[in-house]
Amino acid sequence: MPRLSRDFFARDTLVVARELLGQRLVRVLDGQRLAGRIVEVEAYVGEEDQASHARFGATRRNAPMYGPAGHAYVYFIYGMHYCLNVVTEREGYPAAVLIRALEPLEGSEAMRVRRGSVPDVQLTSGPARLCQALGIDRQFDGADLCASDALLFMEKDTALLDDAVATGPRIGVRGDEIALAAPWRWYVREGREGKGRNGTRDTQHVTRNT
DNA sequence: GGATCGATCGGCT
DNA sequence: GCCGATCGATCCG
């Protein structure tokens, strides 16, 4: 499968986020492919977005968000977890798509080793879980996902019809009314795993704040 | 310099 | 359902 090009990422963040659903995230680890279908994402757009790490302007931490599209922004949070974003739009404008969940497609055995004994549904269903499963940490902060020798990249896979996609407010964000209300989370509707608390914390998830 | 809290997860109650 | 983990950025003094 062809890889997603820089031109793909250097577009409106909301469009990129929607179109990333169904594509494949690939991590080459110890010569082995660990990969999954992207099934949940969130968009963070500009300094005006009060939920974005860029809301206070550029810092050392969020610097990749201001860089060229197609690079990774990996941040460390809560003292334990890493989360992966792909930078979008033009250089100088801070925007990115947070990858929140994957459906494992390749190398799930290796993922399981990294994740410990958790139910399969929890292998990559969460922004920090998928980073642990694929071995994504600080070393990928700022990495170019479009480089020919990248060990982390995205491949064109399945385009999803709108019927298969749902949107809603972003999870766990703080900010102003606009940030709380913006339907900038996209996820694949639960097909078979049944609905409910498993997997991606899905459908209705009340944003906790005021 | 110190306190606070976060785009979270897993374990325990 | 709450709690702890314990880094980094921000804000306050």
Q: What is the pLDDT of residue A191?
A: 59
Tokens at A31, concatenated: 């010569």
Indicate if the pLDDT at residue A201 is higher than 80. Answer: no
C-alpha A76/C-alpha A53 separation (Å) is 12
Burial class (CB in 10 A: 0-12, 13-18, 19+), A210: exposed
Q: Is A176 helix (H, G, I), strand (E, B) or coil?
A: coil
Q: Please check whether strand C approaches the CB of A116 to within 7 Å.
A: no
Tokens at A144, concatenated: 């170019």
Computed from CA positions of residues A31, A139, A108, A65, in that sequence, does the dihedral angle turn out positive or negative? negative
pTM of the model: 0.91
Q: What is the mean pLDDT of chain A?
A: 90
Q: Please check whether strand B approaches the CB of A174 to within 7 Å.
A: yes
Q: Please check whether strand B approaches the CB of A50 to within 7 Å.
A: no
For residue range A19-71, list pLDDT tens digits in order.
999 999 999 999 999 999 999 999 999 999 999 999 999 999 999 999 999 99
Strand C nucleotides below 7 A of a protein CB? 5-11
As a whole number, mean pLDDT of residues A61-88 equals: 97
- Helix intervals (H) in A43-195: 108-115, 127-134, 177-181
Q: Please check whether strand C approaches the CB of A189 to within 7 Å.
A: no
Task: Tell how far CA A71 is from the center of its chain.
Answer: 12
| Nearest nucleotide relative to A53: CA against C1' | B7
CA of A44 to C1' of B3 (A): 28
